[in-house]
Every structure is written in structure tokens, then in C-alpha cells.
A and B are shown apart, each in its own frame.
Chain A
């Protein structure tokens, strides 16, 4: 059996996108997803001594994350005063305490193809963005990717709203023509 090593210095670079993608499809709230990932990394850090090296680092972190997501929904339910969540999928006493999720196939799990396609698309978008003039790229990113309000961008960059829309229009036309060949 392979003996995997643990190295928390690289966790963010290696796994944050994967874990974020995994979480956002389940909680559908960007800020909450970031909190859950952050908690997962901290929990991983605090329980590093429990890592036996039997599974890869990523699998291990995902199993922690799954617990965090379940806890999140459990908390939401109890906050709303809704029915208590009880799960007893397996009564086998020998396996009691094992991760429930490791024994149940996850039908919503993202396939490798989805992952690769999203990564390739993100790379293509970033490359097209880097070809835009700096100011145009910045405004497009603030408005389109980071979802800033028009007013906030105008105040921050000291431009008028009509100026912003002209820049956004130029950026969108340039981005569309850049992505057209492979993605449209």
C-alpha cells in the first residue's frame, strides 16, 4: 500500500480549487464555501498526526470537508428549528465511527472530465484577460468575476457609469472573440 506524505505548506496551491469546486456545488454560497475550506485546512492541520498515509492527502482533506459540509447543514437545520438530522446508514458496529461518506458512492461527485474542462476554461479565460489593456481587464474582472456593483467600481476608479459601460462593452467583445475559436 502506498505511503503518502503530508505537506501542509502546499495545501492551498494544490487543493484549494478542487475543494472549492467540490464545496460550491453542494452549499451554493461562495462565502460559506470559503469558510468551509478554511475550516477544513485548519482541521487538517490540527489532526495531521492522525494521517496514516493510506489515502492521498486530497482524499483525506475531502473526507474532512465532507464532515464540515454535513455539520454546516446540521447547524442550518437546527438554527431553523427544523427536524433533527439523524443518519444511520450502517449499523455494523465494527465499522462504527468510520467516515460514512467513504462507504457510499457520491452520485453528485464531479467527474475528472468536468474538472479538466473547468481548469482548461479558467486558463483560457485568464489568458484572454491578460491580452486586454490593463484597465479594461481590471474593470472587466471587478464587474464580471468579482461581482462588484457599478457604483463601487466607479467610485474606486474615479470613472463615470457611462465610461464603465463602454469599457465593459469593449472588454466583452474582445473576450468573446478571443474565446470564440475553442469555446463557442
Chain B
């Protein structure tokens, strides 16, 4: 029974990455939490990984990506040429 809850650090980090993109299943999350309870190294990794997600979310929501900006520029330049 206990073995069902056990996982390696490698597996735990994989689930931690998936969880950053909301792609971890409920069962994976339960096993992951159990692992964090006994593994300080993975716990620290999880804190750092989540912090990275927070930082990326901060810029993701506040700036345009370069491809979005290019798209905006090309459609605006067309209008600008028609206008001149």
C-alpha cells in the first residue's frame, strides 16, 4: 500500500514541472505531496520552480511577446501606408 505513495525524486520533479502548467493529475499531485513531506531537497526545488512560474506570469500578463508585437506592427503598418 505504502509503495503506491512512494516516488523517486526524478519522478517528483517531473510532476512538479507538469503542475506548473496545470497538467498534473490529482493522483500525481497526492503522490507528489507525500514525497515533499519526506524530501527537503525536492521541497526546495518546488519552491524555486513555483517562484519561476510566478515571475514568468508577471511579465506574461503585462507585456506583448515579440511575435505578438510583430503581428500588431504588420497590420498597423498596412493601415499606415493606406493612410499616407
Q: How far is the CB of B50 from chain A (nearest CB, A)?
A: 10
Residues of B in contact, count (CB < 8 Å): 31
Give the residues in chain B near A141, CB-CB below 8 Å.
Answer: 65
Q: Is the interface of B mostly helix, strand, loop or mixed?
A: helix
Is the pair A122, B14 in contact by a Cβ cutoff of 8 Å? no
Q: How large is the interface on A (under 10, 10 to 19, 20 to 34, 35 or more residues)?
A: 35 or more
Are B17 and A165 neighbours in the complex by a CB distance under 8 Å? yes
Tell me, yes or no, whether A183 is within 8 Å of chain B by CB.
yes
Chain A residue numbers with a CB within 8 Å of B14 are 165, 169
Q: Which residues of B contact A24 (CB under 8 A)?
A: 61-62
Q: In the complex, what residues of B have CB within 8 A of residue A175's CB?
A: 52
Q: Mark B53-72, 1 if CB is under 8 A from A, else 0.
A: 00110111111110111001
Answer whether residue B13 sits at the interface, using C-beta atoms and an 8 A cutoff.
yes
By a CB distance below 8 angstroms, the chain A residues around B79 are 41-42, 45
> Using a CB–CB distance below 8 Å, which chain B residues touch chain A?
13-14, 17-18, 20-21, 23, 48-49, 51-52, 55-56, 58-65, 67-69, 72-73, 75-76, 79-80, 83
Instruction: Identify the A interface with B (CB < 8 A).
Output: 8-9, 11-13, 16-17, 20-21, 24-25, 30, 34, 37-38, 41-42, 45-46, 118-119, 121-122, 125, 141, 143-146, 150, 165, 168-169, 172, 175-176, 179-180, 183-184
